[in-house]
Each structure stands twice: as C-alpha cells, then as structure tokens.
Amino acid sequence: MNSFTGKRLLALVRGGDYAHAGEEEAIDRVFANLPKRSDQWLLDVGCGRGGTADYVRRGGWGRVVGIDRDGDSLAYARSRYPEVAFAAGDVREAPRLLFQRFALVYMLNAFYAFEAQREALAALRQVAEEGAELLIFDYLDRGGFQDDPLVVNGRSIIPHPIEREAICGKLAETGWKLVSTEDLHREYGHWYAALLSRIEARAPEVIAVEGKESLDHLRAVYRGILRKIERGLLGGVLLNCAAV
C-alpha cells in the first residue's frame, strides 16, 4: 500500500497514520532498547504520512526527520506533524536532500518497496554518523515466497521482501553490518489477523470514503498477506545493523 490513497485508507482502518504491521505496538517493539536522547537525530525512511516519526519524537527518542518519495503524503505529514521535518524525494537522494547526520536510521515496512535496495543502503550510510544504528523492520521471505509471490490485480504487493541469504551481502557492500535479527513471524500473523478484523469493522466507512472496489482491494491484499504468513512463506523480521 504505497500510494497516497492506499495509505489514507490504511490510516482510516488503523485509526492512526501508520502503514506498517502492528502500528504503535510494533514501534514500541522496534524502539524498546534504544536510548532516549533529545540531542540525537533520527531518520525515518519511507515515512509515509508521518505518524511513526511523530510517535517517535513524542516518545523522546530524539529529533526526527522523515523522507519519502510520495509528495502528497508528505504534504499531509507536514501540515499534520509540524514538529517533524520532512524531505520529499527518493531514498537514494538522501545525501543531497538532508543536512543532518543521523545516530539512528530506521524503516518500517518501507525497504520491501525499494527497487534499488543496495543503492538505498549506500545512500543511508552516507547520512549516518560513525557508529550509527540502522533498524529494518520488514517482511521476510521465509523460503518459497519468491516462487509464489502475492499478486493482486496484476501488481506485486511485496516486491522485495528481505531474503536471509542476500541481506548480509547487501549490508556489507554498503558499509553496514548485521548485528542481530529478531524473528516476528508469529507477531506478523497476529497483526495481520487484527488488521483484517479492523477492515471488516470499518467496511462501511471505507466504502463511504473510497467505494466498494477499494474495500475489495484492501481485503484481497491483506487476506493474501495473512494467507502467505499462515502457510509459512512470509514472515516479519527486525534487523539491527551498525555502521562500519
């Protein structure tokens, strides 16, 4: 759900400006062991409507900048969350667009959407401080997803999930190293089952705002994701990485 309309619909269903699995519970999980420091800069990559960036700022983890290539969502984010700075552009343009250096770079369900993951990681390394951390919270191909991908209305829904064999190489080639991984398969199952319940609970509002076709699309996407999770093809993971 990378389009402006898709993210707006998800915000309606989720009751907050989030387009990632698990909403605030997931953010708390990702940030659980991180120091809260008002003098550090954090970068939210693929920040969408800005809800996560503002949650992190309010939580006291530091000063937050969001970057996303969806200009409409960023226009919304700027007016809704004026205390967060937002930069409009592709992640690969981060070194040109951002003037801060970041102690923590994080992305929640954004990496899977990047066509050029290596270039993205290299660009993020350039804006990271020495010793910076990188957190990637995303879909994991648990084996077999690539051969049986989720396609809805002719579109690949999770085009580039994390692959265990490839990710270490991509990180190493771009100035990062993998420090630890946390498997979130069970949690992704719960979170997507809960999201499907919310979609049903809010179905009348979704139809009123975007029409029946959008509701059918939402159902197809999230039922499809849950089915892949239940079959063990798809999961979730948190990668904790460090700049080298």
Ligand X SMILES: C[S@@+](CC[C@H](N)C(=O)[O-])C[C@H]1O[C@@H](n2cnc3c(N)ncnc32)[C@H](O)[C@@H]1O
Q: Where on the phi/psi map is residue 48: left (φ > 0), alpha (ψ -120 to 50), or beta?
A: left
How many angstroms separate the Cα of 114 from the Cα of each of 107, 121, 182?
11, 10, 21
Q: Which residues bind ligand X (CB under 6 A)?
A: 1-2, 18-20, 46-48, 51-52, 68-70, 73, 90-91, 108-110, 113-114
What is the enclosing helix (H) or strand (E) of 121? helix 117-126
Nearer to ligand X, 143 or 198 (CB): 198
SS3 213: helix
Nearer to ligand X, 1 or 233 (CB): 1
Least distance in Å: CB of 164 to ligand X?
Answer: 21
Nearer to ligand X, 13 or 244 (CB): 13
Nearer to ligand X, 50 or 189 (CB): 50
Nearer to ligand X, 88 or 206 (CB): 88
Least distance in Å: CB of 132 to ligand X?
Answer: 19
Least distance in Å: CB of 26 to ligand X?
Answer: 8
Least distance in Å: CB of 109 to ligand X?
Answer: 5
Render the burial of 197-218: b for 16+ CB within 10 Å, e for the rest: ebbeebeeebeeebeeeebebb
Least distance in Å: CB of 209 to ligand X?
Answer: 18
Q: What is the bridge-based pairing of β-strands 128-141 and 176-183?
A: unpaired
How many angstroms separate the Cα of 226 from the Cα of each of 10, 141, 150, 165, 192?
16, 13, 11, 24, 6
Q: What residue has token string 């006291």?
A: 60
CA-based nearest residue to 144, from 232, 237, 222: 232
